[in-house]
A and B are shown apart, each in its own frame.
Chain A
Amino acid sequence: MTDDLLLALPLLLPLAAAVTVMLTRGLPRLHGPLNVACMAALAAVGAALLARVHDGAVLVTFLGGWRAPFGIPLVADALSVTMVLVTALVAGCVCLYALVDVPPRQALVYHAVTPVLVASANGAFLTGDLFNLYVWFEVMLMSSFVLMALGGEAPQVRGTVKYMATNLVSSTLFLAGVGLLYGLTGTLNMAELAARVPALGQPALVSVVAVLFVVAFGTKAAVFPLFSWLPASYPTPPVATTALFAGLLTKVAVYALLRTFTLIFVHDVGFTHGALLWIAGLTMVTGVLGAVAQDEVRRLLSFHIVSQIGYMVMGLALLSPLALLGAIFFTIHNILAKTNLFLIGGVMARLGGSFELKRLGGFYRAQPLLAGLFLVPALALAGVPPLSGFWGKLLLARAGLEAAEYAIVAASLAVGLLTLYSMMKIWSQAVLPAAADPARPPAGPVPRAQLAAIGVLAASTLALSALAWPVCVVLGRAAEGLLAPTAYIEAVLRA
């Protein structure tokens, strides 16, 4: 397959699936399996791309055939391809779960919009142009609006209003930053920006733009103090939607931070990345404190999303090969574990009739297999060895010690303990004890598709834990490529 085709498929495949769903309204039974098949094909494309770039190579294609600096490049390096692959895996599992979870009245819109969300995330991962990145973010925002408001219950409308207002303002700030950067440099091609920004000789002005980007991406990634929209809106939609959001949306913003703050905004690392380190620490701590105080599964997990974004930003802020490796590894681990926890939470709530910890219970007795599967992502999230979260935190802590940033290392370890505490809270309140409401008739068996989705994600977490070393070798090259982006720049400008 040519590079042109291979790079375009992560966008075209899901969009084609979405169009097919919309045009075959009369065949609703086909939609779910179609999306699962599409995500499987997408994972195959991701694997094919990874086979090409795992050694540090960079693939480029220009949409419309216009070369840099005019055309919009799609760039695949080890980082972006890994994200595409993980996205396909997670979205496939969520689509599998959604086969039996989405009410028939909402199914058409759900199945039509979910692939669009995936396509826009892939676009954000692959694009090499800042304005195009803005466009993909907006497409993602629009499809997430539709998914979040789907169903139209009062709490959902409330959540969507918060989500909409905050995210639209942050998008506009992003656009303002893009506009200012264009005025300063005359280009929005990321590779060309990387070459031109240092030559500009105006670090103060670039810092202003960098702050706009931190605020914009920071809001979308839900970092301290810009995260309050997330716990307010994520718990409201159906689980099949929240799980996808939890795994994907904030991480796209983290990816954007990783990309821009290694490629473009490295003119004054002491200021920008110093600020990011503070943000990282405060995000971890406030997020986990919020989580500890929660008694509802989805709200608890939502606060954990915030807390764990802190670890990823910490890796970026330390800006060493080891730290970036840790950040990327942690991001992948977190996408897999977090999505799975939401899916299991959904099953728990359906069996127990509530998302409240107090009302749950009896899960272990009713579903011993699922209770065991719950432990995999929960303990991985808490960073218990030898699971994937442990390796991610180990890499980050090691990088922090090497950089002599002892405070952040101490914070990250303490946050790990509190994470373990709140995971055990779910375990001891909702999983182990007898059912809170014994009169409640036992729910039917868990549908096989949902069991499969949870199993695949748990197996992925286990595989990531067991294969941590080879994965780190590939991701280490990705991290080195971020720190010394000559290959990226040359591939785009010389293509």
Chain B
Amino acid sequence: MTPPVSIVLHTTTRFVVPIMLLFSLFLLLRGHNAPGGGFGGALVAVAAYALYAIGSGWRQAHVALRRSPETIGAAGLAIMLVSAALALLAGRPAFAALRQDARVPGLADLDLATPALFDVGVYLAVFGSMITVVLALIHRARVMTE
């Protein structure tokens, strides 16, 4: 593992990054009916990731991602397309909102809707593509300094 840039930053990110990721999920989940949403949520997550990459080194950050950022972005795009196509399957225009109340006995009442699914797709697509850019920039910066 590459040595951390600064021990203070390295320690701080360990506390801040989980909180930022939680906040980004919060933004995503409330997004389809209130301020928030997939894009904003994803940007917070990207900021958290960039912070982690600066604090712990980009190799470590790359490992932590598990999947390649391109795959994450493509999965997001696939989810967006599915949410658009679901409406077509139901005989409505593409992207029309479909809602379905689902009851999980003893746990919760869920209000499932395709806009929320679309938001998840946006979240993953924005996260994947922005991480690609962040990694490209970090990589270029390393090429230049070496």
Contacts and interface: CB of A to CB of B under 8 A. Distances in A.
**Touch between chains A and B, by CB atoms below 8 Å:** yes
Interface of A: 2, 4-5, 8, 11-12, 15-16, 18-19, 22-23, 25, 61-65, 112
A5 B90 CA distance: 11
A62 B71 CA distance: 31
Given A22-B71, A23-B71, A61 B94 contact: yes
Contacts of B84: 8, 12
B31 to A, nearest CB: 16
A19 B81 contact: yes
Nearest to B98: A65
A2 B87 CA distance: 13
Contacts of B92: 4, 65
A54 B87 CA distance: 28
20 contacts: A2-B91, A4-B92, A8-B94, A11-B94, A15-B81, A16-B81, A18-B77, A19-B74, A19-B77, A19-B81, A22-B71, A23-B74, A23-B75, A23-B78, A25-B71, A61-B94, A63-B94, A64-B93, A65-B92, A65-B95
A62 B97 CA distance: 12
A22 B70 contact: yes
Interface residues of B toward A: which range?
20 to 34
Contacts of B91: 2, 4
A25 B94 CA distance: 28
Interface of B: 68, 70-71, 73-75, 77-78, 81, 84-85, 87-88, 91-97
A370 to B, nearest CB: 37
B36 to A, nearest CB: 19
A15 B78 CA distance: 9
B77 A12 contact: no
A63 B70 contact: no
Task: Point out which of B85, B92, B96 has the most chain A C-beta atoms below 10 A from its C-beta.
Answer: B96
Contacts of B93: 4, 8, 61-65
Contacts of A16: 81
A65 B78 contact: no
The 8 A-B pairs with the shortest beta carbon distances in the complex, nearest first, are A22-B74, A65-B96, A8-B94, A64-B95, A19-B78, A4-B93, A63-B95, A65-B93
Given A22-B71, A23-B71, A25-B71, A4 B77 contact: no
B113 to A, nearest CB: 12
Contacts of A62: 93
A12 B81 CA distance: 7
Contacts of A4: 88, 91-94
A18 B129 CA distance: 14
Nearest to A11: B94
A25 B68 CA distance: 11
Contact of B97 (A19, A65, A112): A65
A34 to B, nearest CB: 14
Given A22-B77, A25-B68, 19 more contacts: A5-B94, A8-B84, A8-B88, A8-B93, A8-B94, A12-B84, A12-B88, A12-B94, A19-B81, A22-B73, A23-B74, A23-B75, A25-B71, A62-B93, A63-B93, A64-B94, A64-B96, A65-B93, A65-B95
Task: Point out which of B68, B78, B91 has the most chain A C-beta atoms below 10 A from its C-beta.
Answer: B78
A476 to B, nearest CB: 31
Contacts of B73: 22
Nearest to A8: B94
B139 to A, nearest CB: 12
B77 A15 contact: yes
Nearest to B118: A64
Task: Point out which of A8, A16, A19, A23 has the most chain B C-beta atoms below 10 A from its C-beta.
Answer: A19
B95 to A, nearest CB: 4
Nearest to B68: A25
Contacts of A64: 93-97
A480 to B, nearest CB: 28
A19 B74 CA distance: 6
Nearest to A21: B74
Contacts of A18: 77
A5 B95 CA distance: 11
Contacts of A8: 84, 88, 93-94
Nearest to A62: B93
A59 to B, nearest CB: 12
A494 to B, nearest CB: 16
Contacts of A112: 74
Nearest to A4: B93
A156 B24 CA distance: 38
A287 B95 CA distance: 43
Contacts of B81: 12, 15-16, 19
A65 B68 CA distance: 35
Contacts of B77: 15, 18-19, 22
Contacts of A23: 71, 74-75, 78
A48 to B, nearest CB: 15
A2 B68 CA distance: 38
Nearest to B94: A8
Contacts of B95: 63-65
B70 to A, nearest CB: 6
A19 B97 CA distance: 22
Contacts of B71: 22-23, 25
Nearest to A2: B91
A25 B93 CA distance: 32
Nearest to A18: B77
Task: Point out which of A4, A63, A64 has the most chain B C-beta atoms below 10 A from its C-beta.
Answer: A64
Nearest to A60: B93
A5 B87 CA distance: 10
Task: Point out which of B70, B78, B93, B97 has the most chain A C-beta atoms below 10 A from its C-beta.
Answer: B93
Contacts of B70: 22, 25
